[in-house]
Structure 1
Amino acid sequence: MPLPLILVIDGDTAVLDAVEAQLDRRYGGDYRVVAANDPDTALDTLATGEEVALILIARTLAGVTGGGLLERARQLHPHAKCGLMVAWDALADPPTAAAIVDAIALGAIDYYVPLPAAWPDEVFHHTIATFLLEWATEQRKVPHTVHIIGAEWSGRAHELRETFQSCAAPHTFSLADSEEGRRLLARTSPPITLPVMILPDGRALSDPSNAEIAEAAGAPTDFDGSDFDVVIVGAGPAGLSAAVYGASEGLRTLVIDERGIGGQARSSSAIRNYLGFPRGVSGSRLAELAHEQAAVFGASFVFMHHVTTLTRADDQLTLTLADDRSVNAAAVILATGASYRRLDVPSLEALTGAGVFYGGPASLAHALSGTDVFVAGGANSAGQAALHLARYARRVTLVVRGPALEAGMSHYLVQEIGATANIEVRTGTTITGGGGDGRLRELVLRDGPSGGEETVAADALFVLIGANPHTEWLPAEIARDDHGFLRTGDDVPGDGDAAWPLDRRPFALETSLPGVLAAGDVRHGSVKRVASAVGEGSIAVRFVHALRAAH
């Protein structure tokens, strides 16, 4: 197989030679490093059809050629990572810094790259290695990839893809009658029932259950009846944060999630305002790192298992799972988050996984080059999804029920969307219909003020229209608000069926069931941001210690 390209473009021959030498020496065995000292040569290279992993462009050449060299590079290779090469002190010059910030905000580049100094410049190589890791992960070019083969895009095959996406696990999907699907199936032994999963060790699972998938992935099987200091239900940002802090502080910690890691955050392709990640970080990658961090401290994880009941007897809390196994805990942290609301349009529900997707496009955007894509929603996750898709799709239409984006979206996202030429925003609009011949082909949009409807061609629809909390399984003595979110601290009622039962007041994140805390999006009054969820997860562990001290 031909090696993917790393293309370096700089008009300064001395700089070009130095960068090429650094790259070739470090990455030449796995990538073909190509240098170009003028835009025409660079465009000729980009037009050959070879796979490009990384493009490094000198700032002095970024705007050269019709439409700009950066823009042409993005059009020809939307999957490639793109870095702007600048002097090491570029951010000290306000105009240069502003231009770099604008280029990142508008999606023209992924990040800036300080030019390397003497060999070896590990700061330079850290940036390059990060680019290449992100590219390889997005293109499924990483080890330990699970291959899923299905007869069609929807149905159980779609559920498996969703499961692995929620676990932030590397995976591919192929139709059984495709060339790749036939090649993969040839490695299995009959009889088989689609969908089939081929694990990294070569084992093939025929139409596997969630329990089989969990066991194959290494989930513990001997936890029935075990005692823990804290059991965390939910592995989104709040739950993962609680796991890190709980385990690192010596608490016997168990995390249970019916899906995988990341929660709703995994749908975000680029969280750019999270502390400590100046390049931005995808929700999936953030979840992967947090999961690894918690595991290193000793937290245990049980995925693809559904908790059905939570009961309290004296000072012990017991959680029962759908398979009748149970665990005991001195304290429980509920971090179950919330799920996306459905459109409730039957013709579109039938196409879930076949052009209609609930959640963000992190794993699908690269497959939508040149298409017309719609995003329904007016919050940050919808804005991030639209911006990510705009790098690949011919046109992205953001469908917003409300009168203006500013009502539910961060200012920086509103600005970025407004500056992105191939994003159209339709406010005061709802999706009332649509369909296609086995795959989404059209949508029906209704204008709120006039009531008029319009049928438009559509290749994909991503729905991010709000969330419902996962609290329906909880006992009645845990107080909720009118929308099902959990009341905590001072919001816990003093009378009624879910009244606080003890003489002391509940702790700030404690629900009306003593010893049960809530953190993250599931909690009434939460900010619904990753950083605040992480903060609440860590604070919840502080109250676990307070509960232990109270006894």
Structure 2
Amino acid sequence: MTNLPLIFCIDDDAQVLRAIVRDIKNKYREKYRVVSTTVVKEALDSLLEMKNKGETVAMFLTDQRMPEMDGVTFLEHARKFFPDAKRVLLTAYSDTDAAIKAINTVQLDYYLVKPWDPPEEKLYPIIDELLDEWQGAYRPEFRGIKVLGYPYSRDSHAVKDFLAGNLIPYQWMDIQTSDEGEQLLALNKLTRANLPVVFMEDGSYLCKPGIADIAAKVGMNPHIKHDMYDVVIIGAGPAGLAAGVYGASEGLKTLLIERRAPGGQAGTSSRIENYLGFPTGLSGAELTRRAITQATRLGTEFITPQSVKDIKQSGGYNKIILDDGREINTRAIVITTGVDYRKLDTKGVADFTGAGIYYGAAMTEATACKGRDVFIVGVATLRDRRPCTFPSLRVTCSSSSAKKI
């Protein structure tokens, strides 16, 4: 398993490194992933990459005498990235004074005098005790996309809304309350002026990214496979997804274009109870997932996020021009663009839309509203009085338009 905690071994002597790695793997390979290097610079360079990826280091085992950097100095650097990792120094008898001093300087957990044969007596009992102590406080890191930003930021909301709408798991970090978020900024030499920042699973990151940039990073900009399609559907709400299923099931070359995320307005709903075939209801996300799976299995192709700029006719065929300039030829076009929300025309609303004022029933900002006052305008759309998903919300409803912001 690639998401196991790490035991990181560093020693410039390749023979000693092979020995310690062999002994550690023999005992701990089932619960820990063992990585090693003879080059200190390589180990230093990997610290930031591991932190950005969300890796967890349970223990550093490092030699004291290395030509590029001594072991205590390396542990000082490593502690900035993984302060909770156990720190063990491999020493010769002549290095014990430095090891004892390191107990105070880097909170060294143990110094291990070489050689450690037999490991059953001189290595495993020590490592067992340290790892048991570490496991007591261990909480697995989230492995995936991390979004770092301000809670009432239009740009941050756009990123979260796109990821949630496309069913891409991510972790939200509020820069105002997340110590880990502050640490990620500092370690990558970024400032709050760079927000929002999206950290990808591979350890790379994007500052103030556009939706197209994120889509490209997660592999959501597929190539157009055919010169000519039988039918192109514009809009991937429930109607568009259904059209994609029916078109592909009849053997037609079918392409579905969506400017934001599949599912449309229904895809953001926490519960849908009036959809055919689901008497107990289902969430918009589940409906979207099922429909996409069915459509792609039958052969429907997707392009998202992408908008249509123009539609023309040429030589008896329809030509669709996308925002990025690509052209698609098709025999038929089905437009299922759904509806737009009716916007409040109250002065000030536009300035805060996406930054404290939201349209629809999306769950994207729900957790950020926990414990806060929430005002809902337009109670005519509420069909029942079901208990709120977040009972700590204080909700006030109004059937009239907002008069003042």
> TM class, shorter-chain normalised?
0.5 to 0.7
Contact 1:365 1:388 in 2 (8 A): no
Distance between the aligned counterparts of 1:142 and 1:341, measured in 2?
Answer: 41
Match of 1:229 in 2: 230
Q: Which amino acid letter does the alignment assign opposite residue 283 of structure 2?
A: S
Match of 1:149 in 2: 148
Of 433, 440, 445, 2:404 maps to: 433
Offset at residue 183 of structure 1 (A) = 4.2
Matching of residue 280 in structure 1 with residue 251 in structure 2: no
Contact 1:232 1:335 in 2 (8 A): yes
Matching of residue 375 in structure 1 with residue 376 in structure 2: yes
Which secondary structure does the structure 1 equivalent of 2:401 belong to? strand
Q: For residues 189 and 370 of structure 1, do their structure 2 counterparts lie closer, same or farther at Cα, with a shift above 3 Å needed?
A: closer
Distance between the aligned counterparts of 2:238 and 2:213, measured in 1?
Answer: 26
Distance between the aligned counterparts of 2:251 and 2:302, measured in 1?
Answer: 16
Moved more, 347-356 or 188-197: 188-197
Match of 2:129 in 1: none
Offset at residue 212 of structure 1 (A) = 1.8
Match of 1:160 in 2: 159
Contact 1:224 1:326 in 2 (8 A): no
Distance between the aligned counterparts of 1:366 and 1:248, measured in 2?
Answer: 40
Offset at residue 392 of structure 1 (A) = 2.0
Contact 1:310 1:319 in 2 (8 A): yes
Matching of residue 350 in structure 1 with residue 351 in structure 2: yes
Contact 2:317 2:331 in 1 (8 A): yes
1:58-87 deviations in Å (ceiling 9; x for gaps): xxxxxxxxxxxxxxxxxxxxxxxxxxxxxx
Distance between the aligned counterparts of 1:220 and 1:360, measured in 2?
Answer: 27
1:266-316 deviations in Å (ceiling 9; x for gaps): 232111232333442111221122112211222111112110101123431
Offset at residue 258 of structure 1 (A) = 1.0
Contact 2:238 2:264 in 1 (8 A): yes
Q: Identity across aligned pairs (percent)?
A: 36
Match of 2:293 in 1: 292
Distance between the aligned counterparts of 2:199 and 2:244, measured in 1?
Answer: 30
Match of 1:262 in 2: 263
Match of 1:363 in 2: 364
Match of 2:302 in 1: 301
Which secondary structure does the structure 1 equivalent of 2:363 belong to? coil
Distance between the aligned counterparts of 1:328 and 1:142, measured in 2?
Answer: 46
Contact 2:146 2:170 in 1 (8 A): yes
After TM superposition, the runs of 4+ consecutive aligned structure 1 residues lying more than 6 A away are 141-144
Runs of at least 5 residues in structure 1 that lack an aligned partner in the other structure: 1-140, 401-428, 435-551
Q: Which amino acid letter does the alignment assign opposite residue 359 of structure 1?
A: G
Match of 1:450 in 2: none
Match of 1:322 in 2: 323
Match of 1:169 in 2: 168
1:382-401 deviations in Å (ceiling 9; x for gaps): 447x746365245433322x
Match of 2:181 in 1: 181
1:351-393 deviations in Å (ceiling 9; x for gaps): 233431111142333444444322222454x447x74636524
Distance between the aligned counterparts of 1:356 and 1:213, measured in 2?
Answer: 24
Q: Which amino acid letter does the alignment assign opposite residue 404 of structure 2?
A: G
TM-score, normalisation: structure 1:
0.44
Offset at residue 250 of structure 1 (A) = 1.5
Q: For residues 337 and 151 of structure 1, do their structure 2 counterparts lie closer, same or farther at Cα, with a shift above 3 Å needed?
A: same
Q: For residues 306 and 288 of structure 1, do their structure 2 counterparts lie closer, same or farther at Cα, with a shift above 3 Å needed?
A: same
Q: For residues 234 and 142 of structure 1, do their structure 2 counterparts lie closer, same or farther at Cα, with a shift above 3 Å needed?
A: farther
Match of 2:241 in 1: 240
Runs of at least 5 residues in structure 2 that lack an aligned partner in the other structure: 1-139
TM-score, normalisation: structure 2:
0.58
Contact 1:348 1:433 in 2 (8 A): no
Distance between the aligned counterparts of 2:201 and 2:270, measured in 1?
Answer: 25
Where does 1:33-52 land on structure 2 (aligned, <5 Å)?
none
Distance between the aligned counterparts of 2:225 and 2:371, measured in 1?
Answer: 51
Q: For residues 158 and 398 of structure 1, do their structure 2 counterparts lie closer, same or farther at Cα, with a shift above 3 Å needed?
A: same
Match of 1:333 in 2: 334
Offset at residue 186 of structure 1 (A) = 5.8
Distance between the aligned counterparts of 1:271 and 1:162, measured in 2?
Answer: 19
Q: Which amino acid letter does the alignment assign opposite residue 234 of structure 1?
A: G
Where does 1:23-62 land on structure 2 (aligned, <5 Å)?
none
Which secondary structure does the structure 2 equivalent of 1:398 belong to? strand
Q: Which amino acid letter does the alignment assign opposite residue 398 of structure 2?
A: V
Q: Which amino acid letter does the alignment assign opposite residue 433 of structure 1?
A: K
Distance between the aligned counterparts of 1:175 and 1:341, measured in 2?
Answer: 30
Structure number, greater radius of gyration: 2
Distance between the aligned counterparts of 1:173 and 1:315, measured in 2?
Answer: 49
Where does 1:85-96 land on structure 2 (aligned, <5 Å)?
none
Which secondary structure does the structure 2 equivalent of 1:173 belong to? strand
Q: For residues 350 and 387 of structure 1, do their structure 2 counterparts lie closer, same or farther at Cα, with a shift above 3 Å needed?
A: farther
Which secondary structure does the structure 2 equivalent of 1:309 belong to? strand
Matching of residue 202 in structure 1 with residue 173 in structure 2: no
Contact 1:361 1:389 in 2 (8 A): no
Distance between the aligned counterparts of 1:144 and 1:279, measured in 2?
Answer: 33
Match of 2:73 in 1: none
Q: For residues 176 and 394 of structure 1, do their structure 2 counterparts lie closer, same or farther at Cα, with a shift above 3 Å needed?
A: closer
Size of the aligned set, in residue pairs, is 264
Offset at residue 198 of structure 1 (A) = 1.7
Match of 2:78 in 1: none
Q: For residues 151 and 431 of structure 1, do their structure 2 counterparts lie closer, same or farther at Cα, with a shift above 3 Å needed?
A: closer
Q: For residues 156 and 239 of structure 1, do their structure 2 counterparts lie closer, same or farther at Cα, with a shift above 3 Å needed?
A: same
